[in-house]
Amino acid sequence: MLRLEHAWTWLAVTVGALLGVTPSASRDLSGSRPNILLLMADDFGIGDIGCYGNDTIRTPNIDRLARDGVMLTQHLAAASVCTPSRAAFLTGRYPLRSGMVSSNGYRVLQWTGVSGGLPTNETTFAKILKDRGYATGLIGKWHLGLNCESPNDHCHHPLNHGFDHFYGMPFSMMGDCIRWELSEKRAGMERKLNVCFQIMAVAALTLTAGKLTHLTSGSWTPVIWSTMAAILLFTTTYFLGDLIVHADCFLMRNHTITEQPMHFPRTTSLILKEVSSFIQRNKQTPFLLFVSFLHVHTPLITTEKFRGKSVHGLYGDNTEEMDWMLGKILDTLDTEGLANSTLVYFTSDHGGSLESRLRNNQYGGSNGIYKGGKGMGGWEGGIRVPGIFRWPGVLPAGRVIHEPTSLMDVFPTVVELGGGHVPQDRVIDGRSLVPLLQGTAEHSAHEFLFHYCGKYLHAARWHEKDSGRLWKVHYMTPRFHPKGAGACHGQGVCPCSGDGVTQHSPPLLFDLSRDPSETRPLSPGSEPRYHAVLARVHEALEQHRRTLSPVPPQFSLGNIVWKPWLQPCCGTFPLCACTQDGDPNEA
Ligand SMILES: *[C@@H]1O[C@H](CO)[C@@H](O)[C@H](O)[C@H]1NC(C)=O
Ligand SMILES: *[C@@H]1O[C@H](CO)[C@@H](O)[C@H](O)[C@H]1NC(C)=O
Ligand SMILES: *[C@@H]1O[C@H](CO)[C@@H](O)[C@H](O)[C@H]1NC(C)=O
Ligand SMILES: *[C@@H]1O[C@H](CO)[C@@H](O)[C@H](O)[C@H]1NC(C)=O
């Protein structure tokens, strides 16, 4: 019996050798069920990291992860703003396929109390792995919706999308959470409300004067109504900052609000505590933990220990604190003896925000040599993000891969490792990274990738395997403000359509393999293959378009406006305040 087995092994090895397969390198990892720890930073630029070339910011823990694992240099987000990029990450599909894109300028969910969100019939990798027996958790930011019809239906909640544990912000960090000058929505709304108040006040005064001087006849009703409207507008404007803080800046554990509004000095330690207790609780079963950092989104909440410590102001301090948090999380894996049985992944949801600046202080990330940033669908700086995988003893240490890969690839990758199957009833745009990471495949499975801004296709990329050249075609690019600034200052993010963009006909063509900063558009004179490349990309685009079908839009005006009856609130509406997680002063 033993001899026979040996004979078979010998035969298999010989045949394998003849076919050019080396058993050690092609170890079949599907269904090997490692723990999976996914770490995602918010608004973090690829230029902010030591191992990606920054020599003044200190990110020793991210650098260590890269040294011990595989580093991707052309890792691409499917969108350049939070909500759609995260939807694509969790589903492995372009956000257009789930309706998580806008056609109206509102490109991320604007409030917690809206009805839009990740549709319940979308399948996340968490759901598949949960069905395969994984303990699944999400700690940190969600920003993919909460309710559909009532304040407690939680139809878009992480627990309804395959996570069996959630702790964090259903919405997103923002400057408005601390009434910061760099405001996402308060400042703009205040201006509009103020104009309305002034109109109403003038109307009320005119009507009152008319009545008192007997110039107008009729009842007092219009006077009363306009005065009440003016008072209401004034009060709303006055309390708007508070309203936003209470409406969006709160923490939940599972289905329960634990802190509304958040008490920021303790948030970082609460998150770290939650991560380590999740890992300890679930170390016996394989687990999937998605840590979705609130760092390094504005307002850059940073604990005392890190303030003023970097050479890059508050943004640098916040980055270094996040790196420290990441180190703490890796330490937990080490002390629990889980490092070798855990696949760790680190990324950012999209590029750094160039518009986050105030009086010459930069509060957003840097995207290194790449043009553009957050909010720009086509330019490389908005979508090229860090991507690092570590799995000691299984993935090679210190390997760097320059092939095009997507955040959507994480979906089929973790599904395969966890022993699940990708859904067959829908298009999945991600491709498993396992062969590329292991080194059994030389090339990425992506020949083409499409870069959307909202629902508008801005650019496409073709990795031509034979020549190794990397073509990028831009059909539309944002109009910078002021001209030549490289960003859209004063506008939050650059627009995707209308007057805010330039349509290019013929399209702009770049060869990123020679011009990664997209500074020298090619012409038929400078590039003999100009027409052939444009034609090939156009053909791929037509093919891609044939796979799209219309779905309910999640960012329609009806789905994006604040609906008071969907507002999660602990305590009495509209006060909405509680701390159920102990003493807020205990840090
Ligand atoms: C390093 O990151 C900081 C913070 O974003 C940035 O200001 C600086 O330009 C970066 N340095 C390099 C070499 O990219
Ligand atoms: C969250 O809910 C799940 C069940 O849905 C439960 O297993 C888990 O323990 C809960 N977590 C906490 C902290 O209550
Ligand atoms: C983890 O894997 C590395 C790399 O293969 C190996 O050197 C180390 O001894 C392993 N550690 C444990 C605790 O097994
Ligand atoms: C989800 O439901 C919507 C609306 O019924 C439908 O258009 C869409 O195709 C469905 N998506 C999937 C993945 O089944």
Can you give the residue ranges of every domain in the chain?
A: 33-174+249-447+560-566, 179-247
Strands (E), 13-145: 35-41, 70-76, 135-141
3-class SS of residue 222: helix
**Predicted pLDDT of residue 585:** 41
**Each residue's pLDDT tens digit, 231-272:** 999 999 999 999 999 999 999 999 999 999 999 999 999 999
Q: If you search the block for the tokens 């860090």, which residue do you land on?
A: 386
CA of 341 to the centre of ligand 3 (A): 10
Judge if the beta carbon of residue 312 lies within 6 A of ligand 1.
yes
Q: What is the 3-state secondary structure (H, E, C) of 453-493?
A: ECCEEEEEEEEECCCCEEEEEEEEEECCECCCCCCECCCCC
Mutate to test the pocket of ligand 3, among 340, 341, 394, 399 (most ligand atoms within 8 A of CB): 340
CA of 170 to the centre of ligand 1 (A): 31
Q: In terms of CATH architecture, what is 33-174+249-447+560-566?
A: 3-Layer(aba) Sandwich (3.40)
d(CA 388, CA 66): 6
Residue bearing the CA closest to ligand 1, atom 2: 48
**Predicted pLDDT of residue 133:** 97
**Predicted pLDDT of residue 373:** 98
Judge if the beta carbon of residue 365 lies within 6 A of ligand 1.
yes
DSSP character at residue 201: H
CB hemisphere CA count around 64 (13 angstroms): 12
CB-based contacts of 491, cutoff 8 Å, min separation 6: 355, 481, 500
**Predicted pLDDT of residue 27:** 80
Mutate to test the pocket of ligand 1, among 51, 52, 54, 362 (most ligand atoms within 8 A of CB): 54
Judge if the beta carbon of residue 551 lies within 6 A of ligand 4.
yes
CB hemisphere CA count around 5 (13 angstroms): 2
Judge if the beta carbon of residue 58 lies within 6 A of ligand 1.
no
d(CA 101, CA 95): 6
**Predicted pLDDT of residue 26:** 61
Tokens matching residue 550: 């219309």
Helical segments of 350-409, H only: 380-383
Q: Which atom of ligand 4 is nearest to the CA of 98?
A: 11
Residue bearing the CA closest to ligand 4, atom 11: 121
Active site residues: 82, 143
CA of 100 to the centre of ligand 4 (A): 12
> Which parts of the chain sit beneath pLDDT 70?
1-26, 581-587
d(CA 10, CA 22): 13
Give ligand 3 pocket residues (Cβ under 6 A): 340, 392-393
CA of 342 to the centre of ligand 3 (A): 12
Q: If you search the block for the tokens 């380590």, which residue do you land on?
A: 276
Nearest ligand atom owner, CA of 394:
3
Q: Give long-range contacts, CB 8 A cutoff, 24+ apart: 538-545.
A: 540/447, 540/448, 540/460, 540/462, 541/448, 541/450, 541/457, 541/460, 544/448, 544/450
**Predicted pLDDT of residue 17:** 43
CA of 413 to the centre of ligand 2 (A): 26
Contact present, 436 and 108 (Cβ < 8 Å): no
Q: Which atom of ligand 2 is nearest to the CA of 166?
A: 1
Per-chain mean pLDDT for the chain: 93
The pTM (predicted TM-score) of the whole model is: 0.93
**Predicted pLDDT of residue 531:** 97
**Taking phi first (over 0 means left), then psi (-120 to 50 degrees means alpha), and beta for anything else, what does residue 28 get?**
beta
**Each residue's pLDDT tens digit, 98-137:** 999 998 889 999 999 999 999 999 999 999 999 999 999 9
